Amino acid sequence: MYTKEIEIVNATGLHARPASQFVAKAGSFRSRIQIRRVGDEKWYNAKAIVMLMTLGLAQGERAEISAQGEDEQEAVEALAALVADLKE
């Protein structure tokens, strides 16, 4: 398992278009990928748009991305980089 903490920098958070980009990128990996707000116990499936929208991460919030599988590190690092580049 590989986990990394990130900060949401996009002004609209992970909503609508940014969330769909995140889910599309997550879906390109074989690993099981989850995301949660830092401090929360509940993890959400990062490959499901409805789950990501339910999480409702806003600008400035911190989250953890976790993956388990053959490409776990690559998946987490790619998603962390995507979130860092989402600046609508």
Q: Which residues are catalytic?
A: 15
Cα(59)–Cα(22) distance, rounded to whole angstroms? 15
CA distances for 28 relative to 10, 15, 36, 37, 84, angstroms? 22, 20, 20, 22, 18
